[in-house]
Amino acid sequence: MNCIIIIEMGTAAVRVFAFDLSGNLISSSKGHYPTFHEQPDHSEQDPEQMFITMLYILKNLLIEKIYPKKYTVTCICFGSSMHSLLAVDKDGIPLGNAITWADNRGKKEAADLKKSTLGEEIYKATGTPIHPMSSLIKIAWMKNHDPEKFKLAKKFMPIKTYIIQQLTGACVIDYSIASATGLMNIHDFTWDRAALEFAGITPEELPDLHPVFYSGVSLKKEYQRVLKLSPSVKILIGSSDGCLATLGAGVWENSMATITIEDSGAFRIIGDKIIEDPKQQIFNYLLTEKHIITGGPTSNGGVIFNWFAKQFGDFQKAFDIDQSMEMLIEEAAGVEVGSGGLIFLPFLHGERAPIWNPNSRGCYFGVNIRHERKHFIRATIEGILYEMYSIGRTLENHRHIETLSINGSFASIPFCTQIIADIFNKPVSTLSHADSIGKGAYLLSATEMGIYPSLEEASKTVTMHQTYLPNAENHQIYAQYFKVFESLITKVADEFDAISDLQERYSQ
């Protein structure tokens, strides 16, 4: 029996999946790695630790779960989070940690560029909003603030390219990941001249561009031996987590959209045309040359509730974050809709869509003497979902959307899914499979292998598990609170800048 292995390098963990050729999940495993925040706006990860964790999880899955069941690996496909950046020297050795999507150190470079006509030109060419998340801004920051490292760097690459290079020796990047760097022209599939000039680099300092179906690389012999894999195993460079999650959610009709909430979050649609937004509030990333994923990301998804659980969860017994989060959600379910008038702005990581303000910060508003811990729990969840709603409303300026699907960690929590249905006032369906990124990577691999004639046909095999219908009365209440939420964000914009400045000056 043959199987396909999916390796997904997420923000907090690597996940490895094994699917049979019919798309049934055989087994999966996960390993975590830390993120370092030396300053409030900095988010970094150790690339060597990420590679070793991936290798450990992959090897254990193969040895303990796949080979004993007599499966033969025929294909390995990669997925990963977007916007990471790693500088390496002439020998391919990292010149420090990888900078993640959540890093906002380049906010001045981004603000200056966004105000210029060049910024507008680059946004139209690349589809990536001008923001510190992008490789474009990270490289520009390094040029201005760390010139020694910038001079030593011979290649700039995302973490997925580094992992593939370690395994195969090839320095390659797929269109999907590349189109989220702010450096690729999504109209002609080349590195964009104007963006590269702004960053101060040449195409030779970036990985080689390839479509997501590219499989022209092979495992190094030492990894063939260590992992007991055949030299003929197909290595598919794959796509980004966002594009794979959209494919794995089966969102192929114009009236459908999908919400993903993992550590970060996003609201996405798929189409065959780039949607131009004069306000530069949405992204356009390539799944393939003909399929565009359009949407808006939040930097403050599941990672915010995870933060709340770590700070305020009940850890009197053994540390168990998952158990603590379940207890918190149970407590929040006993609170009325709207959290008794308590509103949470969830911007602990700054924010991307739709406000694209790296200086925004978290805030509880409306606290009164009757509020208890349970109100803060529910307000935290509602704040995360109000933010998703604000992104969804932005996308609805460009396309009529009737139904939603949800994937990621919040999809497994019925309490959260019902709140989404009520806030959006739309039916929300969960998927019959637990992980849409892994499923999307399987569908991509199976299409490349000829199991499906096209991605569109592959997406039709995605089935829904349960649909949550909106409660009209709850929607009316949420609509009133959302007006306050939306108004607050605008009114405290100056205070966001002020407190961010103070945090930079006085935080240890």
Residue type, 420: I
Residue 403: helix, strand or coil by DSSP? strand
Binning the chain into helix, strand and coil, the percentages to the nearest 5 are 40, 25, 35
**Does residue 283 sit in the same domain as residue 360?**
yes
Determine which helix (DSSP H) or strand (DSSP E) holds 266, and give its type and residue range: strand 265-271
**DSSP assignment letter at 66:** I
Residue 466: helix, strand or coil by DSSP? strand
Rounded to 10°, the helix 414-424/321-332 angle is 50
Q: What angle do CA 364, 429, 253 make, to 5 degrees?
A: 110
Check residue 315 and give its pLDDT.
62
* Separation between Cα atoms, residue 129 and residue 158, nearest integer Å: 18
Check residue 288 and give its pLDDT.
96
**Does residue 10 sit in the same domain as residue 97?**
yes
Residue 55 gets the label, from left (phi > 0), alpha (psi -120 to 50) or beta, of alpha
* pLDDT at position 408 over 70: yes
**Does residue 376 sit in the same domain as residue 402?**
yes
Domain boundaries, position 223: 2-232
Check residue 488 and give its pLDDT.
97
Number of independent structural domains in the chain: 2
* Separation between Cα atoms, residue 290 and residue 87, nearest integer Å: 31
Closest CA to 267 of 291, 290, 245: 245
Residue 208: helix, strand or coil by DSSP? strand
Contact 488, 363 (CB under 8 A): yes
**pLDDT tens per residue across span 7-33:** 999 988 999 999 999 999 999 999 999
Check residue 317 and give its pLDDT.
61
**Does residue 80 sit in the same domain as residue 210?**
yes
Phi, psi of 73 (to 5 degrees): -75, 125
Residue 8 burial (CB < 10 Å; 0-12/13-18/19+)?
buried
* pLDDT at position 318 over 60: no
How many CA atoms does the CB half-sphere of 206 hold within 13 Å?
Answer: 28
**Does residue 387 sit in the same domain as residue 419?**
yes
Residue 239 is assigned to a structural domain of this protein: no
Phi, psi of 15 (to 5 degrees): -120, 135
* Separation between Cα atoms, residue 478 and residue 95, nearest integer Å: 48
Residue 241 is assigned to a structural domain of this protein: no
**pLDDT tens per residue across span 454-499:** 999 999 999 999 999 999 999 999 999 999 999 999 999 999 999 9
**Does residue 161 sit in the same domain as residue 102?**
yes
Residue 37 is assigned to a structural domain of this protein: yes
Length of the chain equals 508
- Token readout for 422 is 């009520």
Contact 26, 140 (CB under 8 A): no
Mean pLDDT score, 378-400: 96
Residue 444: helix, strand or coil by DSSP? helix
What's the whole-number average pLDDT of the chain?
95
Alpha helices (H) along 249-301: none
**Does residue 228 sit in the same domain as residue 255?**
no
- Gyration radius (Cα) of the chain, Å: 22
* Separation between Cα atoms, residue 425 and residue 313, nearest integer Å: 31
**Does residue 269 sit in the same domain as residue 154?**
no
Domain boundary among 200, 232, 264: 232
Mean pLDDT score, 161-166: 98
Residue 237 is assigned to a structural domain of this protein: no
Residue 307 is assigned to a structural domain of this protein: yes
Q: What percent of the chain has pLDDT over 90?
A: 89
Q: Could you identify the residue written with the tokens 């690597």?
A: 14
Residue 16 is assigned to a structural domain of this protein: yes
**CA dihedral (390, 392, 398, 400) positive or negative:** negative
Going by pLDDT thresholds of 50, 70 and 90, the confidence category of residue 264 is confident
Going by pLDDT thresholds of 50, 70 and 90, the confidence category of residue 316 is low
Closest CA to 159 of 6, 7, 9, 8: 9
Domain boundary among 206, 232, 258: 232
- Token readout for 423 is 């806030």
* pLDDT at position 322 over 80: no
Domain boundary among 201, 232, 263: 232
Residue 43 is assigned to a structural domain of this protein: yes
User: What separation, in Å, do the N-terminal and C-terminal C-alpha atoms of the chain show?
Assistant: 55
Check residue 430 and give its pLDDT.
95
Going by pLDDT thresholds of 50, 70 and 90, the confidence category of residue 433 is confident
Check residue 508 and give its pLDDT.
63
**pLDDT tens per residue across span 223-235:** 999 999 999 999 9
Check residue 263 and give its pLDDT.
83
**DSSP assignment letter at 207:** P
**Does residue 165 sit in the same domain as residue 277?**
no
Residue 188: helix, strand or coil by DSSP? coil
Residue 242 is assigned to a structural domain of this protein: no
**Does residue 308 sit in the same domain as residue 200?**
no
The residues near 194 (Cβ < 8 Å, ≥ 6 apart) are 118, 121, 122, 125
**Does residue 341 sit in the same domain as residue 416?**
yes
DSSP string across 318-348: S--HHHHHHHHHHHHTTSPTTGGG-EEEE-B
**pLDDT tens per residue across span 230-249:** 999 999 999 999 999 999 99
What is the CATH number for 380?
A: 3.30.420.40
Q: What is the 3-state secondary structure (H, E, C) of 111-155?
A: HHHHCCHHHHHHHHHHCCCCCCCCHHHHHHHHHHHCHHHHHHCCE
**Does residue 224 sit in the same domain as residue 283?**
no
